Structure 1
Amino acid sequence: MSTGGGATEPRRILRVRQSAGVRRWLRESPNAVVLLAIVVGALTGCGALVFRWLIEVFTNAVTGFDEYPGRGPSLRLPGLGLWFLVLAPVVTGAIYGPLVYWLAPEARRLGGTKESSNPYADHGAGVTSRITAVKTLGSAITMGGGGSVGREGPMVAIGSAVGSAIASVFRIDSARMRLLIACGAAAGISTAFNAPISGTFFAMEIIIRNYTTRSLGAVMLSSWTAHVIGKAVIGEAPLFPMPVMHADKLTELPVFLLVGLAAGLVGIVFARSVPLVARICDWVWRGPEWLRPAVGGVLLGLLLLALPEMYGSGYPVLANAIEGHYGLALVLVLMVGKIVATSFTLGIGGLGGVFAPTLFIGAMAGTAFGLIVGELWSDASSPAVYGLVGMAAAFASAERAALTGIVLIYELTRELTLVVPLALAVAMAALVARLLRAREMESEMREVITAAAVAREVPEPIPITSSPAEAAAALARSPHNLLPVVDGEGHYVGCLSSHDLLEASGARVTLINGLITHPTTVPPNAELREMLDTLAFQGGAPVLGDDGNLVGWLVYEDLLARVYPS
């Protein structure tokens, strides 16, 4: 009499083969990218909206406003008057400080838009979900308590983590993983600014760099998917109210080159001040890291008491400046104040992005320039025009994304007469940034970069005696798709990739011996050219010492970060 077990086994095998077939199609089919891009865009759009809601919740809990207008007492704590500005960053710092320290100290390193996306090429879903969750919550608390940072960096982090997680779940190769990360970053910017074209250009300029029509299509699809979701929930309201403006005077065009020069230099100053202040805070602080945001919050609160306009992202204040409600002196004070406030917020351990502060600082620089020109030339364009041009120029120099700066301002304003002034100013700002960057690189390249200086710690190796199931578990825990294999004495014998292991899932493999590959290795003294040649054909490279043992693990992103530090 049959027990039915004979029929169950073939069905189980069929399901396993069907699952493997779906995974193979997602990894290898060009058409699969379309589906994955839509999924990444949809999930990122939803995640970004949740993050936006969290910021409003925490800001409202402290101030009584969804976005603090930069003046007046808290509606929640009216008895404190403006002194709530001192209390808010201290209390919120006491909340997110321990949260970050105990759950994800890595989140502190992801402050800007580039930093929020590029590292995810090296991490799997198990790591990025933890870091991103902590960064998302910590950023919302930081901004709710007055931290002078932006929401765009965390939104990019959410999208990048979504792309990385999906790529890790389906064991997609590193090239497609980078594409999905770019899709997520584009979706994050699209939701943040209600600007899908800007999201596309941002991802192509910052992450993809060298792209094809297929990758452009995937990124654009993801960005528009997130835009549709955001539009359905929050509507088409602009980032802030835009005054009526025109920039159609040919005789004024040379002036915009000077605006680009000024705002570009200010953007560079800001980009350098953030890591500089962080290093100073590291040097000064001697207490426990989890307490640092609360103690630093006292000084941040005093700064907010003196200049309440620095509270949060500052978009209401930016709108007032663009609309001409502030004089020249106050605009300049706000520009310098934002540089100090944002740098200090991040330096004491606060979480958030620098995209919005960069736009704020550029807008103040441009508006100040416009006010001066207006005093000297009665027929000049309004200060609003100069402020918006300054926004694009500062972003282009600080983030090295010229096209994104131009497209973003056009999408926000839909004013065609701004395109030529934007192009001139951004070109000048990008040129200044490039010239300054070239001088830095000449100095940096005098120091020889070796594999030993760039390599990260060796990932946990797989014993050669492991079964396929044990190897699969090790790969699932690891942020890498390729792991070293060692013999019984701990000596390196090769590598095992998740792709090769998955391909062998239908065969009767009891040990991993036959699945081991031998990727090109590099010695500790390998220099830049050798490392580039090796990484051009594989996602990672083992660094082997003279005795043949592993001393490090080299990945492309670490090499890029060393040659082109942000």
Structure 2
Amino acid sequence: MTEADGTAGMSKFIRRLVRVRIWLGERLRFNELQATLLWAAIIGFLGAWTSIAFKEATEWLHHLFTGFHQTEIASFKSMPTWRRLLIPTIGGLLAGLTLLFRTRFKAQANSTDYMEAVVVGDGNLSVRVSLVKSVSAWFSGASGASIGREGPLVQLSSLVASVLGRWLKFPLARKRQLVACGAAAGIASAYHAPIAGAFFVAEIVLGSVAMEAFGPLVISSVIATLTIRAHEGDAAILEGGEAFTLHSNAELLPYVGLGIACGLATPMFLSLMKGGERAFSLLKAPVWVKLALGGLIVGAITVFRPEVVGNGRELVIDVLTKPWAWQALAVVLICKLLATAATFGSGAVGGVFTPTLFAGAAFGYLFGIAMCSLFPAWGMEPGAFGLIGMGAFLAAATGAPVMAIIMIFELTLNYQILMPVMLASVVAYYICRSLKPETLYGEALKRKGAAAVAQHLATLKVGDLMTPDTGTLSPNATFGEVARAFLQSRHEFLHIVHDNRFLGVVSLHDIKPYLDQPELESLLIARDVMRDDFTRLQPDQTMNEALELFGQAEAERLPVTAITGELLGAVTKTDVLLFLAGKPKKQAVAA
């Protein structure tokens, strides 16, 4: 073998680059989990701009519908009766007609909802179906439908993550995690709440707060929130929270009572939402008729109480910042619940997160008026009960008390609110769970077959997470070819294959001693520095077995081979950890 054969291309510059590559590998130890954090940050940024674009498009369409550059409530108050009836009906009609396109793509869709994509575990969202649903939500939201805007924001942000995962050809576990990051970015963008956005996905969707899965959610949420605040400002969404002050510990007792009341009232709220669905399911009519009817009902209610239009954010702020007579607030609460039940039941695309916040704020305010009448000397404010009621109602309705507590804190940026909202939320959660209602998102997950999917996930093996290994070398590869291969790869081990049979690996650190010995470079080939006793996985092994072997090998990536020794692909430790961390403990053990 000549020196030209052995060191082709091994100039001083190439040798210097290899030394830098080894130095970085020894000190930075950049693995797949760190790469996932980087992609989570990118998804947070892209998800935030997707949310900004959707919000501005909704405002533009609202102006087109109403002719007013005002908030939804102000616009409807300025319109005559016939337009209050007509605009929500037309919006519902257009939203329903848009959904007709979904049936054309149904057979081609892997998943049509971000929760389904995360729970199913494939991380694939149908682009066309997601866009159809978002356009439908666009028509509903701009025309005053009484439904939350977080649904399309989360859907679009998750879609961006899913497309990115497919484009980069990420394995199953990482695509699933990226979609979860997109969902967290969507929630964070909607409410300027990075911690609550991460906990929303961790508690409700993933059912786990394991750090391997939770860390990327936090990164995505924080980046999304920073992007949104740079565009919209960094003020608290609920400025009324700044006025909250806990005067004495005795005030905590009424807040505990509020938690009990919210725990008892939440099942009725959930039953009303499901009742709306059941009522519209009895109507044997096309989806566009149902959505138009839902819009007409909302329009009819706005004739008397125009405050019910929109997702309820304006109403929440009004409840927390303005004095209300209990009779007026009770009427608005009832009308808003009926409008939300009609919109939600008709099949409109969106969420009920913000309407739930309003229900909690109004219920808490009414409870606060009663407490202030009973204990006038305590100096309590009904608005404070409205704040605490939001957290308690949200905790009971979603079954995610930690998320609810953090959400209220982030919405108000008031530290003093933490103790009372913690007490009320936990009490409301346990009271509501004792009555065993279906949670706000439990029914959605059940409809998407979460139980069957969990059983399917428990049977997945190493082969299901495997990706093709394109970074292989021949055992006769020259030292120069090995060095250049490491410059092109981010991995610290390259697999040596002959006739598609796995022989061993070459470590980045094993070639380091030969960089200063040019006379040996001309003689060395990959087989000379190969490790032939390297740990390998089998495609039928469980995830827990794979994790145990990763611990023994202390490697970030292991080859997957058939019994005959054929190299089938590779699996990273990060993918196994994300897979196990993305499920509740019982499912992970079953895997």
Paired residues of 2:237 and 2:412 also in contact (CA < 8 A): no
Residue in structure 1 matched with residue 155 of structure 2 by the alignment:
157
Q: Structure 1 residues 302 and 519 mapped into 2: Cα distance closer, same or farther (>3 Å)? A: farther
Of 40, 43, 62, the match for 1:37: 40
RCO higher in 1 or 2 (8 Å CA, sep ≥ 6)? 2
Q: Structure 1 residues 279 and 226 mapped into 2: Cα distance closer, same or farther (>3 Å)? A: same
Alpha-carbon shift at residue 330 of structure 1 (Å): 1.8
Unmatched 5+ stretches in structure 2: 1-29, 107-111, 474-496, 501-537, 549-578
Paired residues of 2:462 and 2:541 also in contact (CA < 8 A): no
Deviations 1:198-257 (A, max 9, x none): 222222222333333343332211111111211121112332442622123211111111
Q: Structure 1 residues 385 and 88 mapped into 2: Cα distance closer, same or farther (>3 Å)? A: same
- 1:149 aligned counterpart, secondary structure: coil
Paired residues of 1:97 and 1:294 also in contact (CA < 8 A): yes
Within 5 Å, which residues of 2 pair with 1:131-280?
131-242=129-240, 244-280=243-279
Q: Return the alpha-carbon distance in structure 1 between the equivalents of residues 33 and 123 of structure 2.
A: 23
Q: Structure 1 residues 62 and 29 mapped into 2: Cα distance closer, same or farther (>3 Å)? A: same
Residue in structure 1 matched with residue 71 of structure 2 by the alignment:
67
Residue in structure 1 matched with residue 366 of structure 2 by the alignment:
368
Letter in 2 for 1:68: E
Alpha-carbon shift at residue 72 of structure 1 (Å): 5.3
Alpha-carbon shift at residue 406 of structure 1 (Å): 1.2
Letter in 2 for 1:136: S
Q: Return the alpha-carbon distance in structure 1 between the equivalents of residues 307 and 393 of structure 2.
A: 20
Within 5 Å, which residues of 2 pair with 1:47-446?
47-63=50-66, 64-69=68-73, 73-74=77-78, 78=79, 81-103=80-102, 116-122=114-120, 127-242=125-240, 244-283=243-282, 285-378=283-376, 379-437=378-436
Paired residues of 1:42 and 1:226 also in contact (CA < 8 A): yes
Q: Return the alpha-carbon distance in structure 2 between the equivalents of residues 175 and 272 of structure 1.
A: 35
Q: Structure 1 residues 139 and 216 mapped into 2: Cα distance closer, same or farther (>3 Å)? A: same
Q: Return the alpha-carbon distance in structure 1 between the equivalents of residues 184 and 263 of structure 2.
A: 24
Paired residues of 1:41 and 1:222 also in contact (CA < 8 A): yes
Alpha-carbon shift at residue 132 of structure 1 (Å): 2.3
Deviations 1:265-289 (A, max 9, x none): 3333222322331122111x22222
Letter in 2 for 1:30: L
Letter in 2 for 1:196: P
**TM-score, length of structure 1 as denominator length:** 0.69
Letter in 2 for 1:69: I
Q: Return the alpha-carbon distance in structure 1 between the equivalents of residues 117 and 432 of structure 2.
A: 23
Q: Structure 1 residues 424 and 82 mapped into 2: Cα distance closer, same or farther (>3 Å)? A: same
Is 360-369 or 339-348 further displaced after alignment? Answer: 339-348
Q: Structure 1 residues 455 and 399 mapped into 2: Cα distance closer, same or farther (>3 Å)? A: closer
- 2:284 aligned counterpart, secondary structure: coil
Unmatched 5+ stretches in structure 1: 1-26, 108-113, 460-479, 484-493, 511-516, 522-531, 538-554
Q: Return the alpha-carbon distance in structure 2 between the equivalents of residues 180 and 432 of structure 1.
A: 35
Paired residues of 2:171 and 2:465 also in contact (CA < 8 A): no
Q: Return the alpha-carbon distance in structure 1 between the equivalents of residues 273 and 105 of structure 2.
A: 17
- 1:238 aligned counterpart, secondary structure: coil
Letter in 1 for 2:261: A
Q: Return the alpha-carbon distance in structure 2 between the equivalents of residues 383 and 333 of structure 1.
A: 17
Paired residues of 1:257 and 1:424 also in contact (CA < 8 A): yes
Letter in 1 for 2:46: L
Alpha-carbon shift at residue 39 of structure 1 (Å): 1.5
CA RMSD of aligned residues (A): 3.9
Q: Return the alpha-carbon distance in structure 1 between the equivalents of residues 339 and 544 of structure 2.
A: 43
Alpha-carbon shift at residue 336 of structure 1 (Å): 2.3
- 1:257 aligned counterpart, secondary structure: helix
Residue in structure 1 matched with residue 21 of structure 2 by the alignment:
none
Q: Return the alpha-carbon distance in structure 2 between the equivalents of residues 281 and 341 of structure 1.
A: 13
Paired residues in the alignment total 445
Q: Structure 1 residues 287 and 325 mapped into 2: Cα distance closer, same or farther (>3 Å)? A: same
Q: Structure 1 residues 87 and 509 mapped into 2: Cα distance closer, same or farther (>3 Å)? A: farther
Paired residues of 2:113 and 2:130 also in contact (CA < 8 A): no
Letter in 2 for 1:289: V
Within 5 Å, which residues of 2 pair with 1:377-526?
377-378=375-376, 379-437=378-436, 499-500=466-467
Paired residues of 2:95 and 2:140 also in contact (CA < 8 A): yes
Alpha-carbon shift at residue 65 of structure 1 (Å): 3.6
Paired residues of 1:125 and 1:165 also in contact (CA < 8 A): no
Q: Return the alpha-carbon distance in structure 2 between the equivalents of residues 71 and 51 of structure 1.
A: 20
- 1:350 aligned counterpart, secondary structure: coil
Q: Structure 1 residues 271 and 440 mapped into 2: Cα distance closer, same or farther (>3 Å)? A: closer
Q: Structure 1 residues 256 and 130 mapped into 2: Cα distance closer, same or farther (>3 Å)? A: same
Paired residues of 1:396 and 1:404 also in contact (CA < 8 A): yes
Q: Return the alpha-carbon distance in structure 2 between the equivalents of residues 384 and 221 of structure 1.
A: 33
Q: Structure 1 residues 295 and 213 mapped into 2: Cα distance closer, same or farther (>3 Å)? A: closer
Q: Return the alpha-carbon distance in structure 2 between the equivalents of residues 237 and 55 of structure 1.
A: 22
Q: Return the alpha-carbon distance in structure 1 between the equivalents of residues 229 and 450 of structure 2.
A: 47
- 1:216 aligned counterpart, secondary structure: helix
Alpha-carbon shift at residue 146 of structure 1 (Å): 1.5
Paired residues of 1:260 and 1:429 also in contact (CA < 8 A): yes
Letter in 1 for 2:115: S
Letter in 2 for 1:393: A
Letter in 2 for 1:386: F
Q: Return the alpha-carbon distance in structure 2 between the equivalents of residues 163 and 227 of structure 1.
A: 16
Alpha-carbon shift at residue 434 of structure 1 (Å): 2.1
Q: Return the alpha-carbon distance in structure 1 between the equivalents of residues 214 and 463 of structure 2.
A: 32
Q: Return the alpha-carbon distance in structure 1 between the equivalents of residues 315 and 144 of structure 2.
A: 14
Alpha-carbon shift at residue 349 of structure 1 (Å): 2.4
Letter in 1 for 2:253: P
Q: Structure 1 residues 424 and 49 mapped into 2: Cα distance closer, same or farther (>3 Å)? A: same
Paired residues of 1:335 and 1:364 also in contact (CA < 8 A): yes
Q: Structure 1 residues 500 and 133 mapped into 2: Cα distance closer, same or farther (>3 Å)? A: same
**TM-score, length of structure 2 as denominator length:** 0.67
Q: Return the alpha-carbon distance in structure 1 between the equivalents of residues 464 and 215 of structure 2.
A: 29
- 1:141 aligned counterpart, secondary structure: helix
Q: Return the alpha-carbon distance in structure 2 between the equivalents of residues 127 and 90 of structure 1.
A: 30
Residue in structure 1 matched with residue 18 of structure 2 by the alignment:
none
Q: Return the alpha-carbon distance in structure 2 between the equivalents of residues 123 and 101 of structure 1.
A: 27
Q: Return the alpha-carbon distance in structure 2 between the equivalents of residues 455 and 131 of structure 1.
A: 23
Letter in 1 for 2:412: T
Letter in 1 for 2:324: Y
Alpha-carbon shift at residue 424 of structure 1 (Å): 0.8
Alpha-carbon shift at residue 495 of structure 1 (Å): 12
Paired residues of 2:326 and 2:369 also in contact (CA < 8 A): yes
Q: Return the alpha-carbon distance in structure 2 between the equivalents of residues 252 and 126 of structure 1.
A: 49
Within 5 Å, which residues of 2 pair with 1:516-555?
none
Residue in structure 1 matched with residue 557 of structure 2 by the alignment:
none
Q: Return the alpha-carbon distance in structure 1 between the equivalents of residues 105 and 275 of structure 2.
A: 19
Deviations 1:156-213 (A, max 9, x none): 2223333333333334344333322222122112111112222222222223333333
Letter in 2 for 1:252: E
- 1:172 aligned counterpart, secondary structure: coil
